[in-house]
Amino acid sequence: MTTTDTAPHMQPFQAEVAELLNLMVHSVYSETDIFLRELISNASDALDKLRYEAIAKPELMENGGAPKIQIVPRKAPDTLTVIDNGIGMDRQELIDHLGTIAKSGTKSFLAKLTEAKDGANLIGQFGVGFYAAFMVADRIEVTSRRAGSDQAWRWSSSGGAGFEIAPASEEDAQRVVRGTEIVLHLKPDAAKYLEAYQIERIVTAYSDNIQFPIELVPEEGEPRQINSASALWQRSKSELSAEDYTQAYKQIANAFDEPAMTLHYRAEGRYSYAVLLFAPSTKPFDLFEPQRKGRVKLYVRRVFITDDADLLPGYLRFIRGVIDSEDLPLNLSREMLQNNPQLAQIRKAVTSKVIGEFEHLADKDADSFAKIWDSFGPVIKEGLWEDYERRDKLLALSRFTTTKGENRTLKQYVAELRENQTEIYYLVGDSLDRLKSNPKLESAAARGIEVLLLTDPVDAFWTSVALEYEGKPLKSLSQGDVDFGLIPTVETDKDEPAKTEETDEALVIATIKDALGERVADVRASQRLTSSASCLVAGGQGPDRALERMLAQQSRGGASKPILEVNLRHPLVAAIGRPGQADAADLSLLLLEQAQILEGELPDDPAGFAGRVNRLVLRAL
């Protein structure tokens, strides 16, 4: 409806708006703070629109002063006023924007809002952010003048069935030269929003990086700016110094260390968003919390939305920073955060960018990457287990302690493969010292074969995935068959016991099997051992020994029976095959129990183990 009548005119709300306002007026939602965020966001949008239209019509900026947003609390009339000198609205725009919800999906939104226990996270996602003000106000008055117009208009509503619209009074028109003034008549239980510290708290939490100044206008004294008005991530990299980035990191991440890596770029195309991310140089206190929550903040057009959007996978949860989208709606619900296709594309693209930056850093600044790996290597390796798409890149980035040294890469490992070596060998355990003394390393050491020594808890999981690097599969020394027969030795192992008597190998194996019974899945001659008598390994199928132990400790499955491998050249093993050996059963059990101890396990029967050792020692005496 159009009219030139200057008298106040009543109009009904669109049916969905009336239903929405009824929910707002009788709101029991706890997060009422978001009403101010929504009004500030709308004001910022109005200033953006003015700046855009003024490109073609510079005269629109002539009256009204520099762009800004003002918040005016007044306790005597219990009013909170939000003012912007942006593009403003004419009569029809007031009706269209404040009297209808001109977006699809309104019915769905209302159904979700009605069902939600706390609907604050839904408000705004369908363009209804303005109406959140009715959670705290029983009456709202809006005075607006479109930039370049001679006429100002006044819209008012108590949140009932309709609203009133009329030309603004002469006094109001003189006050609102350009833009919009929103006066909230606060409910008694919303009086806290008249306190300056409450307003500053909300602005700092949600709107600090709005690019326009936000001023608090106290009842006494001069207006003062309460936001930083500096969304640094929206600025060009050429404008910023290393110190700027360091200060931004400390502010955004609430950190005290220096960033080990900074990633700043702007994505343009189907989706537009700015990215400013940092890798800390020290471990955050919450790095190993079970929830594995990320701490990258999501902004929409410089308005803070949440730091709980899982914008990066769990294995990059140590990354701090901001992603600011130009396209997403405000107040994304938790369901939309999980299922929004735009967010899914952003997650995928930003994750790849972070991994790419790691690769660049590892190649060009090895010391900086070493800081990241030393602090977060165990976390990054979680990606080897869960991120199939980037698994090869993460494996190439990984640094390992090996039998040759520290911070070794698989590229270095493969470059130094021994003659006829076709696999990359590793051993998983809970202690580097224990791994270095593990008997399973003996044959590999005799042939100069490098072995990865893996001691992080996650190593037991990612190594259960079939992985390879440059066509060389990773192979556990604790699982399945190992045959080093084609790889020449580098020197004679002086500690290797000489075989001094003929041994009936079949008889020895059969005797040990008979003594151990159901305690082991099998007994077989070892290709891993040179000086030790025995060791335990897992079968070729199923989990490795380290993963089995970990799962058993967490009551997530019973450990399967191990395979006992014995060194037939060892005198203790050879003694079992001697005719009339009275101690064959005790010696066989001792081979199992000492292998368990070397694995960091207790013998199944500690008292029986002590008795056996005592008997054998006494007989020797």
Q: How far is CA 299 from CA 119, 123, 206, 293, in A?
A: 19, 16, 9, 17
Following CA atoms 39, 135, 206, 200 in sequence, which dihedral angle do they give, to the nearest 10 degrees?
A: 90
What was the pLDDT predicted at 375?
Answer: 93
What was the pLDDT predicted at 109?
Answer: 47
- Low pLDDT (below 70) residues in the chain: 1-7, 14-30, 99-128, 331-334, 491-503, 553-559
What was the pLDDT predicted at 557?
Answer: 54
Q: Which two tokens stand for residue 349?
A: 């693209």
Binding site: residue ranges? Answer: 38, 42, 84, 89, 103-105, 125-130, 180, 334
H or E segment and range at residue 564: strand 563-566
What is the distance between the alpha carbons of residues 525 and 351, in angstroms, rounded to a whole number? Answer: 48
Q: Would you say 194 and 80 are in contact if contact means Cβ atoms under 8 Å apart? A: yes
Instruction: Find how far residue 155's CA is from the centre of its chain.
Output: 45
Binding site for ATP: residue ranges? Answer: 38, 42, 84, 89, 103-105, 125-130, 180, 334
Q: Is the dihedral of CA 488, 494, 495, 499 positive or negative?
A: positive
Q: Would you say 163 and 8 are in contact if contact means Cβ atoms under 8 Å apart? A: no
Q: Which two tokens stand for residue 579?
A: 């005719």
What was the pLDDT predicted at 374?
Answer: 94
H or E segment and range at residue 215: strand 214-216
- If DSSP codes are grouped into helix, strand and coil, which group holds residue 520? coil
Q: Would you say 71 and 37 are in contact if contact means Cβ atoms under 8 Å apart? A: no
CATH T-level fold of 232-372: Ribosomal Protein S5; domain 2 (3.30.230)
What was the pLDDT predicted at 547?
Answer: 80
Q: Which two tokens stand for residue 496?
A: 């290797």
Domain boundaries, the chain: 9-225, 232-372, 505-620
Q: How far is CA 215 from CA 143, 154, 208, in A?
A: 19, 23, 11
CATH code of the region 505-620: 1.20.120.790
What was the pLDDT predicted at 308?
Answer: 78
What was the pLDDT predicted at 51?
Answer: 84
DSSP string, 4-33: ---S-EEEEPPHHHHHHHHHHHT---S-TT
What is the distance between the alpha carbons of residues 526 and 522, in angstroms, rounded to a whole number? Answer: 12
Q: Which two tokens stand for residue 419?
A: 């003659």
What was the pLDDT predicted at 122?
Answer: 41
Q: Is 178 exposed, middle or buried (0-12, 13-18, 19+ CB in 10 A)?
A: buried
Strand 320-325 vs strand 273-280: parallel, antiparallel, or unpaired? antiparallel
What was the pLDDT predicted at 559?
Answer: 66
What is the distance between the alpha carbons of residues 379 and 377, in angstroms, rounded to a whole number? Answer: 5
- Which residues pair with residue 70 across a beta bridge? 83, 215
What is the C-alpha R_g of the chain? 36
What was the pLDDT predicted at 27?
Answer: 53
What was the pLDDT predicted at 332?
Answer: 66
Domain 9-225: which CATH number of 3.30.565.10, 3.40.50.1240, 3.30.300.30, 3.50.50.60: 3.30.565.10
